[in-house]
Amino acid sequence: MNIANRSKDKNESTVDRGSKETRRLFLQGNEAIAEGAIAAGARFYAGYPITPSSEIAEACAEKLPAVGGVYIQMEDELGSIAAVIGASLTGVKAFTATSGPGFSLMQENLGVAILGEVPCVVVNVQRSGPSTGLATRPAQADVMQARWGRHGDQHLIVLSPATVQECFDLTVTAFNLAERFRAPVILLADEIVAHMRENVTLPDPAQIKIVNRKKPACPPEEYLPFKPDPDGVPPLADYGSEYIFHVTSSMHGERGYSQNDPANAGAKIKRLFTKLDNHLDEILLVKHHYNPADELDLLIVTFGCTTRPARAAALRTPNLKAGVLQLVTLWPFPDAFIAEAAQKARAVLVPELNLGQVIREVQRVVGKEKPVFGLHKSNGLGFLPAEISARIEEVANQCLR
Amino acid sequence: MPALSWREYLDEKMLPHLWCPGCGNGIALGALTRALAELQLPRNKVVVVTGIGCWGKADDYLATSALHGTHGRALAFATGVKAARPELTVIVLMGDGDGATIGGNHLIHAARRNIDLTAVVLNNQNYGMTGGQVSATTPVDAVTSTTRYGNPERDFDLCRLVDAAGANYVARGTVYHVPQLDRLIRDGITKKGFSFIEVISPCPTHFGRRNKLGSAVEMMKALKTRAVNVNSPAAKTGELPAGAFLIGKLADRDDPDFTARYAAVQQKAQAKGGFSS
Ligand SMILES: Cc1ncc(C[n+]2csc(CCOP(=O)(O)OP(=O)(O)O)c2C)c(N)n1
C-alpha cells in the first residue's frame, strides 16, 4: 500500500511477503499503527493518553527509545501536536495519536502544520461523542471534523484503515504522503479497527517503500523555505543544518517571514489546495471488493469499520448483485472513483457510524441520477452484517425489484 | 571565522520594528542579541521559538532559525525541537499572557521536566497586542481594557511559580537594568536544564496610560526605583517596600535535565533489545 506501487484497484498489499525478514504477528490495530510508524521511519512521538488510542503511546514509549527515537508524554494534546511540529522541523519523522476530545484540542495547531507545511502524522482513533460521550465506544463521526475542524481555508489528506493489516500499511502510506507533500496527514481509525486483533504481515523493512521529504539543494543563503518547486511542494531543510529558516503560523512570503500582502496570501492559500489536488493520482486510494468491471444492482460505499460487515452483507444478498467500494482516502474525497462505480450501479448505499457525513459527499458526486441511501447509527455500537442486510432488503424493495 | 557581532543576529531587512515608542521589547531584543554574540553561537544552531503577541513578533527581526507558533504554545513547540535535537540552542520568547496565562500549563511542565530551553518572558503586565486586556500578571486593582473597575484578581509571581516547579535557573531583570539583563540571558542560555528569565518592561501605550503611570520615561524610572537587587542588603532583610520586586538570579541549581534523563532511558531500552513484539 505504498504510494509508488499503488494501483487504483488494490485488494492485495504489494509489498514482498516472501523475505526472510518478514514477520507474521498477531497484533492489535493500535500496535500495528505503532509498528507501521516505526517502519516508516518515525522517531518521535509526543502525545497524551486517551482511550481507544493509548496502546499506540504505550508501544511507542517502549519501542522508540530502543531505536534511538524519543517518546514524550506532553501535558495535553495542544502541546502534543506542537511538539510533533517542532520535532519534524528538525528533520525527524514525528507523529501523535489521540481520540475525539484530544483531536478537538489539536485542531488549532494542526492549522500550523498546514500553513507552515510541516510533514507529520496525526492518528485519530474515533470514539463516540459528542464531548466525552460514550467513552470509549466506536464511532465514525469525525469525518467532517478531520476535514473542516480548523478555522480558515485549508486542505489535507485523511486515510482510513479497515483491517489491522491496513493499520500497518496505511500508517506507512500516511508518513510517505506527509513527507511527499510537506503536509500533515490524518489516519482516521476507529475503536473497532484499533482494538481488533488479527494476523498481520510486517514486511522486511528493506522491502517497504519509504518516502523522505525533499531537502534543498541550493546554497544556504539562497534558500527560500516556502518557494515551491514546479510540483507545488517547497523543499524543507532541517533546523540545525546549514540552512537557516523561519516557519510561522502567520501568513508569510517565500522567505518564511510574516507578510500581509493580499496577493501573496491568496496565492499561498491556493497552493495549499493545488499541491494536493494536482496530485490526486498519488493520494486517492480505494478498494473495490468486487470486480470493478461488473454491473451492480447496489454499490455499497464504506470506510473503516463498516467495510467488513458490509462485505459480509453483500455476499448474502439473494437475487441481487451488491459490491463494496471501500474508501481508503477520505480526503481529498475520491470523487472520480465513486462516480465511475456509481455509473455501473442502479443504486448506492452508504452505511456509516454517524448520522450522515460521507453520504453527503457521495450524494454530491452521484447527483440526482441514481438513488443514494444511507444507513446511519450513532449509539456507540458497530454494525452487524444483519443490520446492513436488512437495509439492503429495504432498498431493494424500494427501487431494485 | 571572524567573530559575530550582535547585529548579525538581527535581520535588519525587517526593521523598523512594529513596537510602540517607549516599549521595552526592543531593549530586550538587544539584550538577547548581545547574549548570543557574547556566546558566539552559530546562527544555524539557534532556534528561536515565539508565541503570539507583541513580544512574540520578535522572531521577525532575528536572523537565526525560528518557529512562530500559536498563542500559549511556544514552549510545547520548543519542547519538540529540543527533545528531537538536543544539540540545538532553543530560546523561547513569550509575553506574560502567552507564557504564563494561556500558556501557564506548559510553563510549569517545562520547568518540571527541566528541559534545556531558555524562556524569556517579557512581562508588561497586560496583553499589549490585543489592546491592553488583563493578564495573569496584572496587579490587583489595576485598570485594563477588561478591568475598568480595577482588577479583582491577584497576579502571579512568575519566578516563584517556575522555581517551585523545578527549573534549574530562574532570574528576573528589567529593561532599565540592561547590562544585568544581558548577563541574565547569557547565563540562562549556557545553563543546562530549564532557564526562565522574566523581563519587567513598560507598556506605556496601554497599561501606563490606563493606570496614569506617566510618560514612557517615567515608567522607565519607576523600574529603577522599584527593582531591588537580590544581592543587596535591602533584599537580605526579607522586607521589601510596597511595589518593589527582586531582580537578579533567584534560583540556580544543577539537577539533571530532560536530555540527560532521556539518554538514560534510551540506553536502558537499547540494552533490553527494544522490540518485544
Ligand atoms: C488562541 C488565541 N486566543 C487569543 C488570541 C488573541 N491574542 C493575540 S496576542 C494576545 C495577548 C498578548 O499578550 P501577551 O502574551 O502578554 O504579549 P504582548 O502582546 O503583551 O507582548 C491575545 C489574547 C490568539 N491569537 N490566539
Q: What is the pLDDT of residues B160-204, one digit of tens each?
A: 999 999 999 999 999 999 999 999 999 999 999 999 999 999 999
Task: Give residue A369's pLDDT.
Answer: 87
Q: How far is CA B155 from CA B105, B138, B235, B239, in A?
A: 16, 6, 21, 19
* Residue B86 counted as domain residue: yes
Question: For the domain that residue B132 is a member of, what is the CATH number?
Answer: 3.40.50.970
CA-CA-CA-CA torsion for B75, B80, B85, B91, nearest 10 degrees?
-10
CA-CA-CA-CA torsion for B173, B178, B181, B185, nearest 10 degrees?
150
Delineate the domains of chain A, giving CATH numbers in brackets. 13-207 (3.40.50.970), 287-400 (3.40.50.920)
d(CA B29, CA B24): 9
CA-nearest residue for atom 16, ligand 1, is: B97
**CB-ligand 1 contact for B55 (6 Å cutoff):** yes
Task: Give residue B274's pLDDT.
Answer: 57
Q: Inspect the interface and report whether the beta carbons of A112 and B69 lie closer than 8 Å.
A: yes
Task: Give residue A19's pLDDT.
Answer: 54
ipTM above threshold 0.90: yes
With bands split at pLDDT 50, 70 and 90, how would you rate the model's confidence at B272?
A: confident
* Residue B277 counted as domain residue: no
Report chain B's mean pLDDT, rounded to a whole number. 96
**For A301-333, what is each residue's pLDDT tens digit?**
999 999 999 999 999 998 899 999 999 999 999
Instruction: Report the Cα A378 to chain-centroid distance in Å.
Output: 22
Nearest chain B alpha carbon to A242: B44
pLDDT surpasses 70 at B97? yes
One-letter identity of residue A27 = L
Nearest CA among B165, B228, B215 for reference residue B195: B165
* Residue B1 counted as domain residue: no
Segments forming the whole domain that contains residue B127:
6-232+239-271
d(CA A176, CA B110): 32
With bands split at pLDDT 50, 70 and 90, how would you rate the model's confidence at B275?
A: low
d(CA B127, CA B118): 22
Ligand 1 atom at minimal distance to the Cα of residue B25: 21
Q: Inspect the interface and report whether the beta carbons of A82 and B73 lie closer than 8 Å.
A: yes
Which residues in chain A are contacts of B272 at CB distance < 8 A? 66
Fill in the DSSP letter of residue A400: I
**CB-ligand 1 contact for B208 (6 Å cutoff):** no
d(CA A290, CA A322): 8
Closest partner residue to B44 among A92, A94, A241, by Cβ? A241
Fill in the DSSP letter of residue A209: -
Question: What is the best residue among B27, B29, B52 to mutate for testing ligand 1's pocket, by most ligand atoms within 8 Å of CB?
Answer: B52
First to last CA, chain B: 51
Which residues in chain B are contacts of A241 at CB distance < 8 A? 44
Q: Give the CA count within 13 Å in the CB-facing half-sphere of A68.
A: 5
Phi/psi for A160 (5° steps) reads -135, 115
Interior/surface letters B41-63, b for 16+ CB within 10 angstroms, e for the rest: beebbbbbbbbbbbbbbbbbbbb
Fill in the DSSP letter of residue B10: B
- Asked if A284 and A332 touch (Cβ cutoff 8 Å), the reply is yes
Task: Give residue B237's pLDDT.
Answer: 84
Residues linked to residue A376 through DSSP beta bridges, in sequence order = A352
For residue A129 the three cell numbers come to 461523542
Residues whose CB falls within 8 Å of the CB of residue A397, separated by 6 or more in sequence, listed in order: none
Q: Inspect the interface and report whether the beta carbons of B274 and A27 lie closer than 8 Å.
A: no
- Asked if B200 and B227 touch (Cβ cutoff 8 Å), the reply is yes
* Residue B276 counted as domain residue: no
First to last CA, chain A: 38
- Asked if A249 and A298 touch (Cβ cutoff 8 Å), the reply is no
Q: How far is CA A339 from CA A343, A366, B116, B152, in A?
A: 6, 6, 54, 61
Phi/psi for B267 (5° steps) reads -60, -45
Query: For chains A and B, what is the number of CB pairs under 8 angstroms?
Result: 156
Burial tier of A255 (Cβ tally within 10 Å: 0-12, 13-18, 19+): middle
* Residue B59 counted as domain residue: yes
Task: Give residue B197's pLDDT.
Answer: 99
Domain count, chain B: 1
Encode chain A (401 residues) as per-residue pLDDT tens digits. Answer: 333 333 333 433 444 445 568 999 999 999 999 999 999 999 999 999 999 999 999 999 999 999 999 999 999 999 999 999 999 999 999 999 999 999 999 999 999 999 999 999 999 999 999 999 999 899 999 999 999 999 999 999 999 999 999 999 999 999 999 999 999 999 999 999 999 999 999 999 999 999 999 999 999 999 999 999 999 999 999 999 999 999 999 999 999 999 999 999 999 999 999 999 999 999 999 999 999 999 999 999 999 999 999 999 999 998 899 999 999 999 999 999 999 999 999 999 999 999 999 999 999 999 998 999 999 999 999 999 999 999 999 999 999 88
Nearest CA among A35, A47, A328, A4 for reference residue A185: A328
- Asked if A188 and A330 touch (Cβ cutoff 8 Å), the reply is yes
Nearest CA among A386, A392, A377 for reference residue A137: A377
Q: Inspect the interface and report whether the beta carbons of B81 and A109 lie closer than 8 Å.
A: no
What is the longest distance spanned by two Cα atoms in chain A?
A: 70
Task: Give residue A20's pLDDT.
Answer: 60
DSSP notation for A351-385? EESSSSSHHHHHHHHHTTSS-EEEEE--SS-PPPH
* Residue B95 counted as domain residue: yes
Task: Give residue A17's pLDDT.
Answer: 44
* Residue B33 counted as domain residue: yes
pTM for the whole structure: 0.96
Q: Inspect the interface and report whether the beta carbons of B84 and A90 lie closer than 8 Å.
A: yes
B173 to chain A, minimum CA–CA distance in Å? 28
d(CA A295, CA A306): 22
